[in-house]
Each structure stands twice: as C-alpha cells, then as structure tokens.
Structure 1
Amino acid sequence: MTQAVTSAAQNNARLGILLMIATTFVFAMQDGISRHLAGEYNVFMVISIRYWFFALFVCAIALRQPGGLRKAAASNQKLLQIGRGVLLVAEICVMVVGFTILGLVESHAVFVCYPLLVAALSGPVLGETVGWRRWAAIGVGFLGVLIILQPGSGVFRVEALIPLLAALMFALYGLLTRYAARKDTAATSFFYTGVAGMVAVTPLGLWHWEVMSAPDWGWMALLCLTGALGHWLLIRCYEVAEASTVQPFAYFQLPFGAVLGVIAFGEMVRFNVILGAGLVVAAGLFTFWREHLKRAS
C-alpha cells in the first residue's frame, strides 16, 4: 500500500515537472510573439488585446467553479488584489519593451533573478527570516546580473536595466500574491489578476490604437491562445505536484527564450550572458533547495 502511494506521488511529481517545462515553452513562444508585435505596434495596444482574452479566460474558469463570479470576486482585501493585478500588467508592459530593445536572450537572462529578489524582499514584505545562506545566494545571483549587464564596460546601456525593473516588479507581485493568499483563495487571486489588469490597461490600449494587418491579427490570436494555454498548464501543474518540486524547472524559460531569440530574431548569445545567467540560475536553485529543506524540517 505504501509503495503504491509513493509511486502515485512520484508519477504526480513527474507529470508536474513535464507540465512546468511545457508551461515555460509556451510562455517563451508567447514572449517571442510579443516581441514581434510590440516591434510593429504600440505595446499598450498589444497588451490590451492580450488581456481582453485573458480576462475572458479567467471569468470562464470562475464560472465553472461553485459560486461562479460572485464567489471569485469576494475578498476582504480588494485594494490589495486590484494592486496586484495592476502591478502585473505594468510588469508585462515593461518586460515586452525590454524584448524590443534588448531582445529575448538578454532580457530573459536578467529577468531570471526575480526569485532572488523574492527571497531578499520576503523579510521586509512578509516578515520572513532570511538566513545568511540565502543572503549569500542572493549575492552570488546579483554578481551574475552584474556580469550580464557589464556596468563598467563601454557596452553598458541604461536600457539594460529594463528587465531588472521588470524582475523587481514581478517579485513584488509574487510577494503580494503570497500575502493575499493568507485570506483569499487562489481562484480569487487569479480572477483579480486578469480582470484588474484588463481594466487598467484597456484605456491606454484604446488611446494608442493602431490598424493591424491581417497576418499580425493571426499572430495576435496566437498570442492570446498561448497566454490562455500557458496559464492552464500552470494551473494543472500546481494541481498535480507541489510548488517546491516543480518551481526550479521554471528556469527552462531561459534556454527556450534564448533559442527562439537566436533562431527567429538573429540575436547573439555573448559569453558574459551565459556565465552571468548560469550564476543567477545556480543561486536561484540553491534558494529553492534551502526553502524545500526548511519546509521539510
């Protein structure tokens, strides 16, 4: 009996890992499409259309749950939930701008430091204890970011800080999500993520509206579908496996994005980016491992 339960848990973990890898692949494709469209049209318009579909997807999921939209929207911390949604859509806009200026390779290489930012800010935001081992990992990770950005060299550009800003915003979004989870369900947080973000970005998207060509409407439709598919895969991933088991595999988005950047957009992968990203990922995996040990003890 014990063997059967263990085997089932292992199968769930294996399925969760596969789902997380599939999620990162879909999100990397989404980033590539976003880069293409934002290079041709205003970023607010692109994100607005994407969020219209995302909000419909979120509402469709809520309607399938007991209590429907009313239960999904029920919260005693609505301002926090709305703030989370607005912060995420702002982060997406910043990151997509980074794709158009720096490309997928360097943007993803810097952005992967967000788990380290979460670890660093979990103390002041959530009141969690951050030990010296985690601070050491954070220091190593940011050494990797400095290697990527090369602040002392002639090739450094202020634009290189854009994905770092996006990483900081996403880290804050993640911490606020964890804070909101103390009182609200995941369904409620997911609902406000889509709806609040859609309401916030729509006026900007309509103000900057541009005529889109027929082929690009096809890419826009694919962007919306990949967004919905990616979130569905992520939901399924967390349903079948623990977050601590699958989260390290979220780093697969970095190589997927880099390969897409090289093949589709002709980007170059510089040695300092590989070295720096390697340090960031290693430091991030160490923080996940420490958190796993802490929960297991």
Structure 2
Amino acid sequence: MTPPDAARSDARVLAADQGDGPRDTTRLGILAMCLTTFIFAAQDGISRHLAAEYNVLMVVMIRYWFFAAFVIAIATRKAGGLRKAAATTQPLLQAARGLILVFEVNIMILAFVFLGLVEAHAIFACYPLIIAALSGPILGERVGWRRWTAIGIGFVGILVILQPGVAMFSPAALIALASATLFALYGLLTRYAARRDTAATSFFWTGTVGAAALTVIGIWQWEPMTAPDWAWMAILCVTASIGHWLLIKTYELAEASAVQPFAYLQLVFASIIGVTLFGETVRTNVAIGTGIVVCAGIFTLWRDGRARKRRGGNRP
C-alpha cells in the first residue's frame, strides 16, 4: 500500500464529499475496488523491481511528478480551479501530511526490496489497528473495549508474523512496521485536516508537497535507466493515475463501509505477485498472523463505520 497509492485515503475523502452512491451500485463499487487493489498490487511489484535496480528516491520522485500532475489536473476541472484547491487555513498541517507520506513511501518500498512483497504487506496490514489505537489521543475519538480487544488481537497477529526472539526474525520487518505506523499517522492527520479543509485541498497538498520535497532531494540521486525499465516506469506512472481515478469512482458508487474490507485483497494480489514473479515464499507463521491481523482490521473498520453512523457523519 504505497503512495502515491497511499493517498487513497485522500481519494476516499474526495469521493465522500460528492456523496455516497446509490445502494444498487454497491456491487459495482465492490468490483471496482477489487480491480483497484489489483492495480495497486501490480504497482508495488513494479516498484519492487525498479527500487532493486535504482535509487529509491529517484523512483518515487518520478512517480510523484506524475501524481502531482494528476492532482493538478483534477483541481483545474473543479470550480475555483487551483486557487480554491490550494486554499487552506492550516498550511503547516497540510505540508506535514505530505512530508510524512513521502517518508512512508520510501520506507515501504525499501521494505519491498529487503523483505519482499508478501511479508511487507502482511505487516503493513496492521495500519488500521494503529489508526484505531491512536484515534483517541490524536483525534479525541472514543475507542470502546471491543475495538481495544480487536487491536490487541491484531497485534498478537503481528507478533506471530515477526516472531521476535526467534532465530529467523528479520530486522527488515521493522521497516515495514515503521511504514505502517507512518501511514497510520498520515491517515489520522488527514482526518484532522478534514475538519477545516475540503478533501480536494488535502488531495492537492498531498501531491504537490510530496513532488516538491522529493524533487529537492531525489534529483541528486538521478541514475541512467535502461529503455525496458523506462517502459516499466511509464506503466507505473500511468496505472497510478488510473488506479486513483478508479478508487475515487469506487467511493462514488458505494459506501466506504461496503467496499473498504475488500481493500485487503491488495495483500492477496501482492502475495501472488511476490510468489510467482519474485520467488518469495509464504511462511506458515506469516499466513496465520496475517489472517489474525486482517480479521481484527475488518472488525475495527466495521466498528468505526457504526460509530460514524451513530454520530451522523460519513467523513473519514
């Protein structure tokens, strides 16, 4: 789950601003989410390949250039254009969100390289649990005992995956865990920003701040790229825009509570790519731990959705 793919939380807010889709389109929304997760998983596989050959900062920088162009294109099509999209009363918060996301992307792609797609995604799947745990101190939300129980069970699953203290424990697993924590923080700040800014504004700042920050740092890491890898990079950038557009459409077609559990299919698709194309293996403890984490995560998403309905709102 790597950005610009990680900006999907902004895309969810962006679609939510436009209202929930009719219930009879829920099935179509679920199909769209399944296709979206497949596209994102394929992007992770391409990112893993490119980052193993070239500097990660350069790879992510090029992706962000295209992502920023996509964000700007969306902004220009809306009423008020770029001026309205960029308008915010909390620029430091919006900039911090963008920078955290940039940091998270690079860390997660490093996890793909050192840990593989299977285990990196298995660990990253815990981010909804981290969001649930931190939503109290950061957002002031009430976390009931049921969700705390699910959070505790989910982290037992993470321990099963990591196997700390066992000889086969990989320190690289901590990279994926750090990425999940950063993405959870990014998601919480996105919710916080949504209290005063529109989704379009958050989406705009995510892309532009990230592209600017990466250009300042990543341009010095430029390396010559072979023609075949430029082709892969082009596919990566184009599908990123397609994936984000499709995700926005997904949340226009169906309520978030109906389609969000299917986002975990990205883990399945990424694992298939990791096993078939990169020769990775699915260890028994990873499969068991992932099942525990996913079940706990789906439960917290369900409880979160019920809590929002009780409060009378659907915004993330």
Using the size of structure 2 for normalisation, the TM-score is 0.90
Partner of 2:122: 109
CA drift at 1:95? 0.2
CA drift at 1:253? 0.6
Distance across 1 between alignment mates of 2:230 and 2:48 = 14
Partner of 1:141: 154
CA drift at 1:292? 2.6
Distance across 2 between alignment mates of 1:11 and 1:33 = 35
Counterparts of 1:47-66 in structure 2, within 5 Å, are 47-66=60-79
Partner of 1:80: 93
Q: Structure 1 stretches (4+) deviating beyond 6 angstroms?
A: none
Partner of 1:240: 253
CA drift at 1:74? 0.5
Distance across 1 between alignment mates of 2:213 and 2:142 = 34
Is the CA contact (8 Å cut-off) linking 1:62 and 1:72 kept in structure 2?
A: yes
User: Is 1:215 aligned with 2:238?
Assistant: no
**Residue identity matched to 1:98:** A
CA drift at 1:296? 3.8
| Structure 2: runs of 5 or more not aligned | 1-20, 311-316
Partner of 2:241: 228
CA drift at 1:13? 1.4
Partner of 2:13: none
SS in 2 for 1:33: helix
Partner of 1:29: 42
Determine which of 304, 308, 313 is the counterpart of 1:291: 304
Is the CA contact (8 Å cut-off) linking 1:35 and 1:99 kept in structure 2?
A: yes
Distance across 1 between alignment mates of 2:59 and 2:182 = 20
C-alpha offsets along residues 209-252 of structure 1, whole Å, 9 cap, x if unaligned?
10000000000001101211111111111122221221111101
SS in 1 for 2:168: coil
Between the two proteins, the alignment pairs up a number of residues equal to: 290
**Residue identity matched to 2:143:** V
Distance across 2 between alignment mates of 1:47 and 1:292 = 33
CA drift at 1:291? 1.9
C-alpha offsets along residues 49-79 of structure 1, whole Å, 9 cap, x if unaligned?
0000110111011111111100100010111
Partner of 2:163: 150
Distance across 2 between alignment mates of 1:16 and 1:78 = 33
Query: Mean Cα displacement is larger for which, 234-243 or 209-218?
Result: 234-243
CA drift at 1:11? 2.3
Is the CA contact (8 Å cut-off) linking 1:144 and 1:275 kept in structure 2?
A: yes
| Structure 1: runs of 5 or more not aligned | 1-7
User: Is 1:281 aligned with 2:294?
Assistant: yes
**Residue identity matched to 1:228:** S
User: Is 1:12 aligned with 2:25?
Assistant: yes
Is the CA contact (8 Å cut-off) linking 1:23 and 1:230 kept in structure 2?
A: yes
Is the CA contact (8 Å cut-off) linking 2:23 and 2:254 kept in structure 1?
A: no
